[in-house]
C-alpha cells in the first residue's frame, strides 16, 4: 500500500475519499499540515491550506459547477475541485496524481490486492510468469515488479519474442562473437547481458521456437549464456519475467512448448483479468491515460457522468489499448470543453471468444450490424438518472447488498445512498 498524508480539513471536504483511495491501494494517514513534511512525502490538503503546501502536494475542494484541475506548476501545487456529479472521476484523478510513477493505475480493490502480491514477489528473485490477454497491462506489471525490487537501479529490458526474426533470436538473446554468422562484423552482448543486474522481460514467450526453448531453459538453470560462435559460457545475474497471452499448459499439451521450461518459468504465476472484468479500474486507467495525453499547458477534458458511465459499461475486448484509442479520439474530436457520451466512438465489431483461462465471467454479447439505427433521443436529466440507477445497482450487487460498502465504492456517504435508493423506489 502507498501511504499518503491528508489534512483534517481536506478529509472533511470529501468524506468518502479516504475509503475510496484505500480500495485503490492508497492508504492515508491524518496529518497536521503545519508540521514539517518528509522530503519525498505526498500530502492532500484543502485549498485554504495553500500557504502550507509544497509543489508535491495536492489541494482539493468540493464545489458544484465546472470541475477544475490545475496541475503543479512553477512551485505551485496541483489543485482539483469538483462536485458530486464529477466525484467518481475526481477521485480517480486524485489517486493518479499521488500514485508512485511506476505503480499501475487501479481502482478495483481486487486489483490493489493483486499489486500488493506483485510487490511481495518483487522482494525475491523468483521467476515470474505473467499471463493475460493482449493489452491487459502485463509489461506495466513487470516494470512495477522491477521498480519494487532490489534490482530497481539496474536495467529493465523488455523483448517481444514474437517481433524478433527467428533466424536472429538466439544471437539477439544470448549475444554473438565477431564472424559468428554472415554480417557479424563485431561482437554483440545480447539482451541477457544487456539486462545484467536487472530484469529481463520475455514477452510473448509462447512464440519462441522449440529449439531455442531448450537453450533458454539452460540459461535459466545455469544462470549463464553461450553467445553464438563462442566456446565458453558467460555468467549472468538477472531476474526473468516471462509473459504471454496464451495458456502455456495448453501449449505444452499440444507439443508447442517444452514442459520442463514451463515448470521453470511457472515459479510465481500471476494472471491479469481482462479490463472488462475490472470495472473500477476503467476510470482509474482512463484518468491516468488522460493525464498522460494532455499537454501540461492544457486543461484536462473531464468526461461527463454519462460519458464515464458509457466507458464503465463497455466490455473492452481490446482491453487498455482499446480504451486508450477511444479516449484519444474523444480528446481530439470533442466539440466542447468536456468529453460527452457522444464523443466516445466505440467500435462494436465482433470479437473472437476469449480463452477460458482468463475468463472471469461471461462477457456481454455485442453483435455488430452493417447499419445501426439511431437511438431514441432521451432527455439529459433522464440519462443522468439512468446512469445513477445503474451505478447503484452494480455497487449493491458487487457488495452483496451491503449499503455501507456500496456507498464507499460509489464515493458517496451511506446517507446519500439511502436518499438515492428512495428516489429510485419513488420513480419505479
The pLDDT tens digits of the residues spanning 150-208 come to: 999 999 999 998 888 777 788 888 887 765 555 555 567 789 999 999 999 999 999 99
Q: Are strands 224-225 and 234-235 parallel, antiparallel or unpaired?
A: antiparallel
State residue 356's pLDDT score.
39
State residue 340's pLDDT score.
95
Which tens digits make up the pLDDT trace of 258-296?
999 999 999 999 999 999 999 999 999 999 999 999 998
* pLDDT band at residue 414 under the 50/70/90 scheme: confident
Q: Are strands 234-235 and 156-160 parallel, antiparallel or unpaired?
A: unpaired
State residue 387's pLDDT score.
62
Is pLDDT of 350 > 50?
Answer: no
State residue 169's pLDDT score.
82
Is pLDDT of 415 > 90?
Answer: no
State residue 296's pLDDT score.
86
Whole-Å CA distances, 267 to 52, 264, 366, 389: 48, 7, 37, 44
Whole-Å CA distances, 195 to 22, 202, 204: 35, 12, 18
Contact 54, 37 (CB under 8 A): yes
Q: How many angstroms separate the CA atoms of 103 and 165, rounded?
A: 32
Q: How many angstroms separate the CA atoms of 420 and 411, rounded?
A: 13
Beta bridge partners of 158: 201
Contact 390, 313 (CB under 8 A): yes
Most confident segment among 258-262, 296-300, 391-395, 407-411: 258-262
Contact 80, 95 (CB under 8 A): no
Q: How many C-beta neighbours within 10 Å does residue 350 have?
A: 9
Is pLDDT of 135 > 80?
Answer: yes
State residue 116's pLDDT score.
94
CA 89, 395, 276, 15 torsion: positive or negative?
A: positive
Question: Which residues, including other chains, have CB under 8 Å from residue 32's CB and lie 6 or more apart?
Answer: 7
Per CATH, the architecture of 109-271 is what? 3-Layer(aba) Sandwich (3.40)
Contact 350, 316 (CB under 8 A): no
From the number of C-beta atoms within 10 Å of its C-beta (0-12, 13-18, 19+), residue 96 rates as buried
Is pLDDT of 238 > 90?
Answer: yes
The full set of domain ranges for the chain reads: 2-106+278-348, 109-271
Per CATH, the architecture of 2-106+278-348 is what? Orthogonal Bundle (1.10)
At 155, list the grid cell. 536495467
Contact 326, 403 (CB under 8 A): no
Whole-Å CA distances, 309 to 69, 285, 303, 389: 21, 14, 9, 11
SS3 291: helix
Question: Among 224, 222, 237, which Cα is nearest to 174's?
Answer: 224
Is pLDDT of 148 > 90?
Answer: yes
At 164, list the grid cell. 524478433
Which tens digits make up the pLDDT trace of 30-76?
999 999 887 778 899 999 999 999 888 999 999 999 999 999 888 88
Question: Among 85, 89, 93, 124, which Cα is nearest to 26's?
Answer: 93
User: What ranges in 49-179 are assigned the alpha helix state H?
Assistant: 87-98, 109-122, 138-147, 169-174
State residue 378's pLDDT score.
42
Distance of CA 147 to the CA centre of its chain: 15
At 176, list the grid cell. 554473438
Q: How many angstroms separate the CA atoms of 130 and 48, rounded?
A: 45
Q: How many angstroms separate the CA atoms of 332 and 312, rounded?
A: 21
CA 94, 97, 98, 104 torsion: positive or negative?
A: positive
Question: Within 13 Å and on the Cβ side, how many CA atoms surround 78?
Answer: 23
Using left for φ > 0, alpha for ψ between -120 and 50, and beta otherwise, residue 173 falls in: alpha
State residue 163's pLDDT score.
85
Question: Among 195, 171, 174, 173, which Cα is nearest to 185's?
Answer: 171
Looking at the chain, how many residues does it have? 428
Phi and psi angles of residue 100, each rounded to the nearest 5 degrees, phi first: -55, 145
Q: How many angstroms separate the CA atoms of 117 and 121, rounded?
A: 6
Amino acid at each position: 500500500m502507498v501511504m499518503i498524508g491528508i489534512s483534517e480539513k481536506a478529509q472533511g471536504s470529501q468524506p468518502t475519499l479516504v475509503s475510496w483511495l484505500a480500495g485503490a491501494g492508497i492508504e492515508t494517514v491524518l496529518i497536521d499540515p503545519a508540521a514539517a513534511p518528509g522530503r519525498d512525502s505526498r500530502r492532500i490538503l484543502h485549498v485554504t491550506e495553500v500557504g502550507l503546501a509544497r509543489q508535491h502536494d495536492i489541494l482539493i475542494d468540493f464545489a458544484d459547477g465546472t470541475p477544475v484541475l490545475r496541475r503543479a506548476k512553477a512551485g505551485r501545487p496541483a489543485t482539483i475541485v469538483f462536485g458530486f456529479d464529477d466525484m467518481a472521476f475526481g477521485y480517480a484523478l486524485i489517486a493518479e496524481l499521488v500514485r508512485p510513477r511506476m505503480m499501475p493505475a487501479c481502482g478495483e480493490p481486487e486489483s490493489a490486492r493483486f499489486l500488493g502480491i506483485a510487490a511481495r514477489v518483487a522482494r525475491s528473485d523468483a521467476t515470474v510468469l505473467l499471463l493475460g490477454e493482449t493489452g491487459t497491462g502485463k509489461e506495466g506489471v513487470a516494470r512495477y515488479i522491477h521498480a519494487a525490487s532490489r534490482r530497481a537501479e539496474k536495467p529493465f529490458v523488455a523483448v517481444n519474442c514474437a517481433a524478433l526474426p527467428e533466424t536472429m533470436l538466439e544471437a539477439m538473446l544470448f549475444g554473438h562473437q565477431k564472424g559468428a554468422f554472415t554480417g557479424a562484423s563485431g561482437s554483440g552482448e545480447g539482451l541477457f547481458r544487456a539486462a545484467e543486474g536487472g530484469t529481463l522481460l520475455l514477452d510473448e514467450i509462447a512464440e519462441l521456437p522449440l529449439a531455442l526453448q531448450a537453450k533458454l531453459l539452460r540459461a535459466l538453470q545455469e544462470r549463464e549464456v553461450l553467445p553464438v560462435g563462442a566456446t565458453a559460457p558467460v555468467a549472468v545475474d538477472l531476474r526473468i519475467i516471462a509473459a504471454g497471452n496464451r495458456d502455456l499448459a495448453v501449449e505444452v499439451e499440444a507439443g508447442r512448448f517444452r514442459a520442463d521450461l514451463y515448470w521453470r518459468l511457472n515459479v510465481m504465476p500471476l494472471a491479469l483479468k481482462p479490463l472488462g472484468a475490472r470495472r473500477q479500474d476503467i476510470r482509474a486507467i482512463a484518468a491516468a491515460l488522460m493525464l498522460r495525453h494532455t499537454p501540461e499547458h492544457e486543461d484536462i477534458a473531464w468526461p461527463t457522468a454519462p460519458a464515464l458511465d458509457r466507458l464503465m459499461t463497455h466490455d473492452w475486448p481490446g482491453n487498455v489499448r482499446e480504451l486508450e484509442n477511444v479516449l484519444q479520439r474523444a480528446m481530439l474530436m470533442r466539440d466542447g470543453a468536456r468529453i460527452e457520451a457522444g464523443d466516445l466512438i466505440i467500435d462494436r465489431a465482433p470479437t473472437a471468444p476469449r480463452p477460458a483461462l482468463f475468463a472471469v465471467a461471461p462477457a456481454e454479447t455485442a453483435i455488430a450490424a452493417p447499419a445501426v439505427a439511431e437511438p431514441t433521443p432521451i432527455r439529459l436529466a433522464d440519462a443522468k438518472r439512468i446512469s445513477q440507477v445503474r451505478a447503484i445497482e452494480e455497487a449493491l450487487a458487487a457488495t452483496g447488498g451491503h449499503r455501507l460498502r456500496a456507498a464507499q465504492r460509489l464515493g458517496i456517504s451511506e446517507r446519500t445512498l439511502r436518499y438515492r435508493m428512495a428516489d429510485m423506489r419513488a420513480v419505479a
